[in-house]
Amino acid sequence: MAWTVVLTGKRTHMGYRKTSKFFCCIVVFLLFDAVLAQEPKHEKMEQLSFLVGEWVGTSKTYENGVVTKQGAAYEKISYDLDRSILVIELNTEFLQLHTIILYDEAEQTYYYYRFSKEGAARYPAEFKEGKLIVWRDEKTRFFFGSTPEGGFIEYGEQWINGNWTKNFEDNFKNTQ
């Protein structure tokens, strides 16, 4: 073992000091890199902050442009896991859903994970013109957006006979 006397007159182990400094530099670099890597994901998730709240309102389903069901709706939307996911709990008189939305950096897309009594599904989504658009398939899409009054609207459309036709709409006001 090589011991060295430094200017203070105290004995220290030089190999330990160099290793300690090197280790500290590596840790600082990795932490800084991890923080920077989280930024794009957090920025993408922050775009959805308009959805956060406890919402009450009305849910309607349509067939051929006519309301077939209408009822009260409650939706709680909050961030979780250090704002890396958005959790949605929807309860209406005729539908209960739990949904998780996240942003996948590798694929550069949002994903909408839907859970209901019937099962689970994953759909890709995009944020465009202030709205989250979820694509169930090429002929079915869901929109999440804010209203001019500070509310929240969610609606779905299907491609039928060359036109997008609304099949449901939920209008909410924030109770918080």
* Dihedral pair phi/psi, residue 18, rounded to 5°: -65, -45
Per-residue pLDDT, 20:
56
| pTM of the shown model | 0.74
pLDDT in tens, the chain (176 residues): 444 444 455 555 555 555 555 444 444 444 444 444 457 888 999 999 999 999 999 999 999 888 999 999 999 999 999 999 999 999 988 889 999 999 999 999 999 999 999 999 999 999 999 999 999 999 999 999 999 999 999 999 999 999 999 999 999 999 97
CATH T-level assignment (fold) for domain 49-174: Lipocalin (2.40.128)
* DSSP letter assigned to residue 93: S
Per-residue pLDDT, 41:
85
Measure the CA angle with vertex 69, ends 115 and 125; round to 5°.
35
Q: What is the DSSP string of 97-166?
A: EEEEEEEETTTTEEEEEEEETTEEEEEEEEEETTEEEEEEETTEEEEEEE-TTS-EEEEEEEEETTEEEE
* Contact (CB, 8 A) for 154 and 163: no
Instruction: Report which of 175, 160, 173, 154 is spatially closest to residue 63, judged by C-alpha positions.
Output: 160
The distance between the two most distant Cα atoms of the chain, rounded to a whole number of Å, is 90
